[in-house]
């Protein structure tokens, strides 16, 4: 059975964590991990595995949905049987085909947060690793380099991540 293996990593920080030391600390963090089947979410009779890592300061940051055409929308990414696409809230852009061994896409942005009477900017980097495999492979993202890295994606135009929009 062909599986879609997804790993999404969130790195979040606020205005007080923008020093050079903070930037270097975040840059030293891995952009891929072994897949953790025990903590991963599965969809579609286990042929889609979603493994989430990183920060979630507001709770419930990971949002995804299966669409009527059996494609998957996860955060600002859209994945079908063959392609990965991205939206900056204005248009969808096809990034790449789902090719071996795997591909990576990433973007940074900030959004306004109101919490406990305080208003602040929450900065965020989102990294998505995507692979197709005949079976679950825990080391797929750490045993090889990606076929492509899409790191120059346009920042989203909305003020809230998809999970908080409404």
Number of domains in the chain: 1
Q: Report if residue 162 sits inside a domain.
A: no
Global pTM?
Answer: 0.90
Q: Report if residue 156 sits inside a domain.
A: no
Neighbours of 135 (CB within 10 A): 8
Asked if pLDDT for residue 163 goes beyond 60, the answer is no
Structure tokens at 57: 């300061």
Q: Report if residue 54 sits inside a domain.
A: yes
- Residue 118's contacts (CB-CB under 8 Å, 6 or more residues apart) are none
List the domain range (segments joined by +) for residue 25: 3-150
SS3 annotation, 134-165: CCCCCCCCCCCCCCEEECCCCCCCCCCCCCCC
Question: What is the model's pLDDT at position 97?
Answer: 95
Q: Report if residue 41 sits inside a domain.
A: yes
pLDDT, tens digit, for every residue of 12-56? 999 899 999 999 999 999 999 999 988 898 887 768 999 999 988
Q: Report if residue 155 sits inside a domain.
A: no
Q: Report if residue 12 sits inside a domain.
A: yes
Q: Report if residue 7 sits inside a domain.
A: yes
Question: What is the model's pLDDT at position 161?
Answer: 60
Question: What is the model's pLDDT at position 59?
Answer: 79
């Amino acid at each position: 059975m062909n599986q879609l293996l997804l790993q999404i990593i969130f790195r979040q920080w606020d205005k007080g964590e923008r020093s050079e030391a903070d930037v270097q600390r975040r840059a030293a963090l891995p952009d891929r991990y072994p897949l953790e089947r025990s903590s991963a979410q599965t969809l579609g009779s286990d042929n889609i595995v979603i493994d989430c890592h990183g920060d979630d300061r507001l709770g419930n940051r990971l949002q995804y949905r299966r669409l009527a055409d059996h494609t998957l929308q996860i955060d600002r990414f859209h994945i079908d049987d063959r392609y990965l696409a991205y939206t900056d809230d204005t248009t969808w852009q096809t990034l790449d085909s789902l090719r071996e061994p795997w591909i990576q896409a990433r973007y940074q942005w900030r959004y306004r947060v109101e919490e406990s009477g305080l208003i602040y900017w929450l900065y965020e980097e989102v990294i998505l690793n995507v692979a197709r495999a005949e079976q679950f492979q825990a080391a797929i993202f750490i045993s090889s380099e990606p076929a492509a890295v899409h790191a120059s994606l346009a920042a989203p135009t909305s003020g809230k991540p998809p999970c908080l929009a409404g």
